[in-house]
Amino acid sequence: MRKHILTTILFVLVNMIPAQGIRPVNTYSIVALDETTGELGVAVQSHWFSVGALVPWAQAGVGAVATQSFIKVAYGPEGLQLMREGKTAEEALTILLDQDEGKAVRQVGMVDAIGNVAVHTGKDCIDFAGHIVGKNYTVQANLMEKSTVPEVMANAFESTSGGLADRMLAALEAAQNEGGDLRGKQSAAMLIVSGKPTGISYKDVVLDLRIEDHPTPIKELKRLIRIHKAYIHANKGDHYMETGQIELALKEYDQATEYYPENPELPFWTAVTLVGANRLDEALPIFKDVFARDPKLKILVPRLVKSKLFPDDKDILRRVINQ
């Protein structure tokens, strides 16, 4: 009798949900448009391995999608395709839902490039399940410890200042603080694409971070967002160095170090830049601190001469190495 009941349950599930959809990625997420920059983004957390490979989808100038619950991944690429063809977020989601026999267990949020928002929480999604739509965004959650998770996510997103990454992160943190996923936490991800599309996908990605498996994935995601900001400034510094704008380069390198002070390589390049600007006395104490934290960077200095990143001057080299 017991075997018969289990077989019947399995039969119902398999016939209710297309084979590619049997992925119980129960989670909470946000999709949003930054009205100021035009950036589109998705942020998500789940008690599921590598949620970033399944839930978040976005294309610059087109839209963003979060597909979850008993996940049908196709909502991501197919939703973007429909919006790319000119459909609004609402029209795209309606078309896909009409084609989906398993829509009762799906949860999907979409936003298009002009801020139209659409969301669906199937009637058979695991409680607590729900969503809230706001201006240019939607939050959605299922299998939550508390029914209030979408509400606190929306409030956090709307009340947080800063860029899209900061605001979406605040929504995830609020959800977790409210109890989050009933089963706990495992992975998180954030994807943001540019508001100024080039048509070249890798250039249009502003941020793409995945925490595949971690005891505190949102905390780790927050740390990586901070480091990501550091390297944005470091890359800008490199650009200014290439164009001979030393003061602007130094400013960017300093900001990079502020975001990521635990990494000695960032101030190392500030010191190298100062040497190149004939400001050796300012560079020496930075080198001293850097070498104390990472002696291998001292080995790197003479190797920079060949690449013309450091003066071919034995006296300067000696003074730096002796720090």
Distance from C-alpha of 26 to C-alpha of 127, rounded to nearest angstrom? 10
pTM over 0.85: yes
Same domain? 77 vs 210: yes
Same domain, 251 and 205: no
Provide the 3-class DSSP secondary structure of residue 262. Answer: coil
In the block, residue with structure tokens 């994807």: 191
Q: What CATH number is attached to the domain comprising 259?
A: 1.25.40.10
- 148 & 236 share domain: no
User: Using the 8-state DSSP alphabet, how is residue 61 labeled?
Assistant: T
CA separation for the pair 164, 265 (Å, rounded): 28
Indicate if 156 and 105 belong to the same structural domain.
Answer: yes
Of 192, 215, 238, the residue that ends a domain is 215
In this structure, is residue 10 part of a structural domain?
A: no
Residue 89: which of 140, 42, 155, 137 has the closest Cα? Answer: 137
The domain boundary, picked from 215, 246, 271, lies at 215
What string of DSSP letters covers 277-306? TT-HHHHHHHHHHHHHH-THHHHHHHHHHH
Q: In the structure encoding, which two tokens stand for residue 123, read together?
A: 């009637």
Are both 92 and 146 inside the same structural domain? yes
9 falls within a domain: no
- The answer to whether residues 194 and 252 belong to one domain is no
CATH number at residue 100: 3.60.20.10
pLDDT tens for 90-105 read: 999 999 999 999 999 9
Residue 267 belongs to some domain of the structure? yes
- Using alpha carbons, select from 33, 43, 31, 61 the residue that is nearest to residue 209: 43
243 and 303 together in one domain: yes
Same domain for 286 and 202, yes or no, is no
Q: Is residue 222 part of a domain?
A: no
Which residue's entry shows tokens 């498996």? 213
DSSP state of 181: B
Sheet holding 187-193, edge to edge: 130-134, 137-141, 27-33, 40-46, 187-193, 205-211
Q: Domain of 168?
A: 18-215
Q: 11-20, pLDDT tens digit by residue?
A: 333 334 444 4
SS3 content of the chain, % helix, strand, coil (to 5): 50, 20, 30
Instruction: Look at the alpha carbons of 45, 48, 49, 53 in this order and tell me if their dihedral is positive or negative.
Output: negative
3: in domain: no
Q: What domain count does the chain have?
A: 2
pLDDT (tens place) for every residue of the chain, 323 residues total:
444 433 333 333 333 444 444 556 678 999 999 999 999 999 999 999 999 999 999 999 999 999 999 999 999 999 999 999 999 999 999 999 999 999 999 999 999 999 999 999 999 999 999 999 999 999 999 999 999 999 999 999 999 999 999 999 999 999 999 998 999 999 999 999 999 999 898 999 999 999 999 999 999 999 999 999 999 999 999 999 888 899 999 999 999 999 999 999 999 999 999 999 999 999 999 999 999 999 999 999 999 999 989 999 999 999 999 99
Are 140 and 121 spatial neighbours (Cβ–Cβ below 8 Å)? yes
